[in-house]
Structure 1
Amino acid sequence: MADLWTTIITINAVLAAVTVFREPRDIAATWAWILVLIFMPGIGFVLYSFAGRKLPAKRLFAFQGKDASKIQEKIQKRLQEAPGLNNAAELERLPRSARSLVTLFQRINQTPLASHNEVQVMTSGQDFFSRLKRSLKQAKETINIEFYTFYSDNLGHEIRDILVEKAKEGVEVHVLYDSLGSAGTTGRFFAPLTAEGGHAAPFLKRRFNLINFQLNFRDHRKIVVVDGKVGYVGGFNIGDQYLGRKKKFGHWRDTHLKLQGSGVYYLQEHFLLDWNASALKKPMDVQDDRYFPALPDQVAGKTDLQIVTSGPDSDDEQIKMGYIRLIQLAKKRCWIQTPYLIPDDSTIDALRIAANSGVDVRIMVPCMPDHMFVYRATQYFASQLVKDGIKIYYYQNGFLHAKTMVVDDQLASVGSANFDFRSFKLNFEVNAFLYDQSITEQLAATYEKDIEQSSEQTVESFAKQSRWLRFKQVASRLLAPIL
């Protein structure tokens, strides 16, 4: 019996190594999967089959194929027609530090600078959903919605019913949702919408099989585009908990943006690409003028921004690179809010270098978990970063879900990407990187108000934690690359 068990363990170890090393990946994720496969014989291989393999080549082409070039040509034509939009002149107007960030995204994400946008910041569910419902009700031609979570609860039904009414009026409606993030929401929930000619589809979902089933790659983006003129991007999803209606979380603190201007074109671009990669039998015509209407003669806004996406369809980790570049550019302050703090070595080094160079680095995370392993890993990294003089805050007034970064006086980021391995490498994410002093000041003022409802953590407070708690944190940290 002992010889049989030894043989099984040996075979399992060899198969684990072969399975993991046959696909290129970073070393941290490689070792994390080897730990799972070796110490969880059998079960580990099932987990890897669902959550460990890379996106198939067919799906990669769906995001990187001909639709992308067609959309970019359409956007370029619209920008050339718009008076007063000279990206070259706008780029020269920005500080040299900001220009380097713009150039980075132009090269690794093919994302031009979108100038003269009107941007409104929303930090409560009541404000966000009030504006969102108003925009949906005012739609005349098209509504495109993409969310990680679209729950079939009270708020979900309310939003869906608005979409049904707009479809009855002849508005073209498309809804894209993540099947895992929207657990419990099925095609039956959207049946009233499809009955009126609307469309709803789960992101990248295929029939269950062990060859193409990629549980690990989630659509974490939150995009709404109405009539090609009004866009929303940020951290909120569709569900009662985002209005603070769930006792488990209480008040829900998040950050979302409403955009009007050329930046909406780029939100529309990514929705169209995501939809056509998912709904293969009902693709959208990316050349349809309704999706990219002409900009008004006078653009009221003054905010310059870039819409940046990242995901497993690229190895460039574009949003992570943007975060690192923002940290590098900081001279006075770098203030971060994230529900999950699980940085890789490159982002840890950037944070430590900034803090030890005299930059005021602050990181705010929730005081409660929504995913226990992730929360314990967050606590571990917080306890390590505080040693370098980085200020760590636990937000106490409910659950903090905002994903924001404020750097100095004119640079900021708001979007869907958390400060963790999953958002950097595995999820499909979207962020707005903003170059505007007034928006930066508004986000900084909100951050300061949040500090009033937070408790600062110190080296001493972390040292007082029990050995059992510290063990759970260290154990969770070992699995950080695949959480």
Structure 2
Amino acid sequence: MYVAGNRFKLLFNGQDYFPALIDAIDLAQQEVFLESYLFEADEIGVAVMQALMAAALRGVRVNLQLDGFGAGNLPVLWRKRLAEAGVRLLFFRPEVKVLSLDRQRLRRLHRKLAVIDGSVGFIGGINILSDFEPNQPECAPRYDYAVRMVGPLVAQLHESADRVWRHTAWVQLKKNWAKKSLLKPSLSVAGRVRGRFVYRDNLRHRRDIEHEYLQAIWYAKNEIILANAYFLPGYRLRHALIHAAKRGVSVILLVQGRVDQALLHYASRGFYHQFLSAGIEIYEYQKGFMHAKVAVIDSIWATVGSSNIDPLSLLLAREANVFVREKQFAGELRADLKRALEHDATQIKKSDIERDRWVYRALPWLCHAVVRLMMGISGYGGRRYLE
């Protein structure tokens, strides 16, 4: 259900996100929740940790939850400093075997969100680390988005962050940390925008993010712009996009151009021929590494969040997105996506596929088969997802 009365601010990359996040933490008076998949002890991570420690030292209850695999390399020194300052740090599923396909260990905390005093929320795809790739000075900043929000919808972020925190604390036998937050989030009207907070877990909300995408795509009338760093859609999303293109909707996909996660990168190319044959436009982002997970439909519906459109996000990980129905917000995101399409991306044509069959046909087929096998072994229906 969409909740009215909110105000949203679109944040571009870490250059917008981190100052806004740190400012909010610096103003915190009662409570901070922060979740991230990656957390590096670089200049950005240190700045965020210093803000969290300062908040804890002035009496704010600070709950920092990181993924046990993605952020497992956080230095022990900084873990000690956080604890000494009073920051409560939890790692979601910390015991990970890198080569294990155990279904439990593939369930990651991939959400990137923050809630300050139950009144200010942040959500998006941005991890706590520098926008710039180490040892690649020629690379542009990582391409990503987040949203700052105030209004009644923040209460839902707070409830979700508190619930996930308490569950992790309970599993790790930290009973004193597993108590429900006593903070009453603000429900005051802050604007006129309607938004919906949607998360994915492995219980009652397994398909919620996918369903929200599907509904918007099926009702699209004019245009769909979908930007996703790791794009390996399942049967239903794939055919919804193809059906939209065939009924005259302009469907534009912006995906990762630089090889980051090689297996998913090449597996996604296995669908290029099918999409191009249906009239879908495909662009690969080349300026730097793309990490965005956003979409705009008919210049009025938009989403920003942590969920990729791939089997890991849609079948396994804990994810969180915000969906917004408002022309100004959607228009701002659309304008930035169009700029990226025009200036920072390369369009893929059918002739490209015919010219280099190894890159666009043979290698993707092999990677696609490996992904299906891995998801099948995990026991979460990955084979059916990719049929």
**TM over 0.5: same fold?**
yes
Gaps of at least 5 residues in structure 2 are: 376-387
Residue 283, structure 1, aligned to residue 177, structure 2: yes
Offset of residue 135 of structure 1: 1.1
* Cα separation, 1, equivalents of 2:271 and 2:209: 20
The structure 1 residue matched to 2:229, chosen from 339, 350, 358, is 339
The aligned counterpart of 2:161 is 271
The aligned counterpart of 1:429 is 319
1:389 alignment partner, SS class: coil
Larger radius of gyration: 1
Cα deviation, 1:26-77, whole Å, max 9, x if unaligned, reads xxxxxxxxxxxxxxxxxxxxxxxxxxxxxxxxxxxxxxxxxxxxxxxxxxxx
Offset of residue 263 of structure 1: 1.1
- AA aligned opposite 1:144: F
The aligned counterpart of 1:131 is 20
- AA aligned opposite 1:459: K
Residue 310, structure 1, aligned to residue 205, structure 2: no
Contact 2:227/2:292 (<8 A) preserved: yes
1:190 alignment partner, SS class: helix
Gaps of at least 5 residues in structure 1 are: 1-111
Offset of residue 400 of structure 1: 1.4
Residue 223, structure 1, aligned to residue 117, structure 2: no
Contact 1:341/1:381 (<8 A) preserved: no
* Cα separation, 1, equivalents of 2:95 and 2:310: 27
* Cα separation, 1, equivalents of 2:237 and 2:82: 43
Offset of residue 413 of structure 1: 1.1
The aligned counterpart of 2:71 is 182
Offset of residue 179 of structure 1: 1.4
Residue 459, structure 1, aligned to residue 353, structure 2: no
Shifted more, 145-154 versus 183-192: the winner is 183-192
The aligned counterpart of 2:187 is 295
The aligned counterpart of 2:381 is none
Contact 2:155/2:186 (<8 A) preserved: no
- AA aligned opposite 1:286: K
* Cα separation, 2, equivalents of 1:166 and 1:178: 22
- AA aligned opposite 1:170: G
The aligned counterpart of 1:327 is 217
1:264–1:126: structure 2 CA closer, same or farther, 3 Å change rule?
same
Offset of residue 305 of structure 1: 0.6
Cα deviation, 1:165-221, whole Å, max 9, x if unaligned, reads 11111111110000111141155422112112220010133698x998822011100
Cα RMSD, aligned residues only: 2.2
Contact 1:206/1:213 (<8 A) preserved: no
* Cα separation, 2, equivalents of 1:114 and 1:214: 33
* Cα separation, 1, equivalents of 2:35 and 2:76: 15
* Cα separation, 1, equivalents of 2:215 and 2:101: 37
- AA aligned opposite 1:408: D
- AA aligned opposite 2:180: V
Offset of residue 164 of structure 1: 1.0
* Cα separation, 1, equivalents of 2:119 and 2:339: 32
Where does 1:61-210 land on structure 2 (aligned, <5 Å)?
A: 112-185=1-74, 188-205=77-94
1:251 alignment partner, SS class: strand
Q: Which protein is richer in strand relative to its size?
A: 2
The aligned counterpart of 1:40 is none
The aligned counterpart of 2:383 is none
TM-score (normalizing by structure 1): 0.72
The aligned counterpart of 2:271 is 381
The structure 1 residue matched to 2:124, chosen from 212, 216, 234, is 234
- AA aligned opposite 1:389: G
Offset of residue 302 of structure 1: 1.3
- AA aligned opposite 2:187: L
* Cα separation, 1, equivalents of 2:349 and 2:181: 55
1:162–1:393: structure 2 CA closer, same or farther, 3 Å change rule?
same
Where does 1:12-51 land on structure 2 (aligned, <5 Å)?
A: none
Where does 1:399-414 land on structure 2 (aligned, <5 Å)?
A: 399-414=289-304
| Count of matched residue positions in the alignment of Structure 1 and Structure 2 | 366
* Cα separation, 2, equivalents of 1:223 and 1:199: 16
Q: Which protein is richer in helix relative to its size?
A: 1
Residue 415, structure 1, aligned to residue 309, structure 2: no
Offset of residue 447 of structure 1: 1.1
User: What percentage of residue pairs aligned between the two structures are identical?
Assistant: 27
- AA aligned opposite 1:247: Q
